[in-house]
Structure 1
């Protein structure tokens, strides 16, 4: 039977947020940021396991109670210097432990996307479970795009036709994803890019604007509003 396994790379420092603590541990709606992604993924019945890839020197994780997710979460202290390296190391650890096979589906999700919902994750699974390549959540670009000069002046307006903004989870077979990441160019910024470098075309599955990545300090306030609204639903 093919398994669905979520993998969260959580070894980064999140320096752009401007906090001393790693971004995934910042408080958000009464919990840590990473908690919200974990809660959502653990509530998706088809996902058998949620793996968190931590930095080897991470001392924060063990200071918190994760018993709410007992039996579904597993940690691997093998994070790397980049997101791609953390995902690669996590996949290797999973497969070396016999907990993932080449044909299992891996859903890689950013710890800093706390707005992911169960319904959105289920949509991704429904759309991709029988797909030959896999794919990712994404949303069509709505804003006008400007190409800047080196002096922060507008060089030209870019067409947004056919452009989508990538989100996570990004879902691919374990064997394919590992092979793609091991061969990927150094400049890739997500898992889909590694798959694309093999000449394959991941499928775009419509996401939503609530599933944004917390990158800058002002993003925390918006994420807080979204999550507190959900708690009252």
Structure 2
């Protein structure tokens, strides 16, 4: 595992305001138990002993973050994000590079509050096996179907080598910043950090993560996340 606590900077893209889940605020600010989703996510990252700082990319009109207790934490740095996730990650990487250009970035979704330290530890340990970087992922367990535009099944997809991509995703800051910048200039569809690395010819490693590391996307996910967090306590 990394033993230099100055070499890991967590990146949290939290600038999106489009997904409100039928609520009056962005989903990362919805209540999950005693705190918001984002507050839980930040607590996990801030409290990890090997993460030196957390850079969060916020929407320029964000009216909620300042009210979180975590907003004033000395580990946390704020930047203004962009219109897409990739733009926000790049803005945070630019800041992280001024902090420590030789550091590694641990990019994590703001709406994944159930992340645990043990999964972070597994990802950090993987650096010796995957010096090019790696992501947390979960093997696909269900039968996978491909459909046409009308919702009809066209074929069954072999699931043996398929994975669900999770976060965090873990890469050297300078390499990820360069690949993400070039991919955006080339107008490549970047869905996560690994896709920018793949576009540049890098093959990131896969590290099996816990299946309870869910992304809160739909209203039902809030109840599921609450269940997972209550069982972890």
TM score, norm. by length of structure 2: 0.92
- Structure 1, unmatched stretches of 5+, are none
Partner residue, 2:139: 140
Separation (CA, whole Å) in 2 of partners of 1:14 and 1:128: 35
Quote how far apart the aligned CAs of 1:228 are. 2.1
Check the 8 A contact 1:136/1:192 in 2, yes or no: yes
Partner residue, 1:202: 204
* Per-residue Cα deviation, 1:19-72 (whole angstroms, up to 9, x for no partner): 2201111100211001111111122111101111111111211123227x7221
Check the 8 A contact 1:16/1:215 in 2, yes or no: no
Separation (CA, whole Å) in 1 of partners of 2:127 and 2:29: 31
Separation (CA, whole Å) in 2 of partners of 1:25 and 1:111: 10
Q: Counterpart of 1:19 in 2: which secondary structure?
A: coil
Distance 1:37 1:64, change over 3 A: closer
Match 1:91 to one of 77, 90, 93: 93
Check the 8 A contact 2:16/2:84 in 1, yes or no: yes
Partner residue, 2:229: 227
Partner residue, 2:43: 39
Partner residue, 2:76: 73
Instruction: Indicate the RMSD between aligned Cα atoms, in angstroms.
Output: 1.6
- Work out the number of aligned pairs and report it: 226
Separation (CA, whole Å) in 2 of partners of 1:66 and 1:44: 14
Check the 8 A contact 2:42/2:70 in 1, yes or no: no
Distance 1:218 1:14, change over 3 A: farther
TM score, norm. by length of structure 1: 0.92
Separation (CA, whole Å) in 2 of partners of 1:174 and 1:130: 18
